[in-house]
Structure 1
């Protein structure tokens, strides 16, 4: 697969994909902060992926991005007693794309208390 961005989310505490987790992707402005409306936003599907047409399109250009994972809302929607606010509410992840010909895969593995996020080998 060439180019684009994929986001895969797994609730490792439950041992399953995080269907229903809300995720939003912003492009970073020249000041290094998220600029304007999200480039892509939605919920993780039954396959564990954020399906949004912008992520595999020419909208993904060189530059900085921020992805936000709404973990607190995810656990509250499932009736988990993680507290309000939860230990993790929103997990932001900033990264840069240098080579638009490469595919950037972001596996997000989490519980209500911690997470792992990295560039995977998709």
Structure 2
């Protein structure tokens, strides 16, 4: 059975981003999972695994503004990025999906990893 995982790298310091709130939703539904990243920038268990992982459209929200505010990183009065939203489609419930986020206070990159 497949699984969905994520991790976050803080590009301002080149280290994993710990204590970032991550929310996962199936499109047009309520929050399915809520987790925080650990010291390695990863959630402790897959966001979806086994029978939980079904085909469909999903939204993952990374609470970047709260993270950078806690680090006193932003130079602006208000954070530029508040919540980074990634919308994606999981096609194969048997596959492993990994969604890494490279994050800075003013930009980000996301991709399907392995």
TM-score, normalisation: structure 2: 0.91
Q: C-alpha separation between the residues in 2 aligned to 1:15 and 1:47?
A: 12
Q: 1:15 — aligned with what?
A: 14
Q: C-alpha separation between the residues in 1 aligned to 2:54 and 2:84?
A: 23
Matching residue within 49, 63, 66 for 2:42:
49
Post-superposition shift, 1:117? 0.3
Q: C-alpha separation between the residues in 2 aligned to 1:81 and 1:98?
A: 37
Any stretches of 5+ residues in structure 2 without a counterpart? none
Any stretches of 5+ residues in structure 1 without a counterpart? none
Post-superposition shift, 1:6? 0.4
The structure richer in strand per residue is: 2
Asked whether the equivalents of residues 74 and 105 of structure 2 are also in contact (C-alpha less than 8 Å), the reply is: no
Q: C-alpha separation between the residues in 1 aligned to 2:92 and 2:61?
A: 22
TM-score, normalisation: structure 1: 0.85
Q: C-alpha separation between the residues in 1 aligned to 2:25 and 2:74?
A: 30
RMSD of aligned Cα (Å): 1.5
1:44-86 alpha-carbon deviations (Å, 9 max, x no partner): 0112212246522321111010000111100101122343431
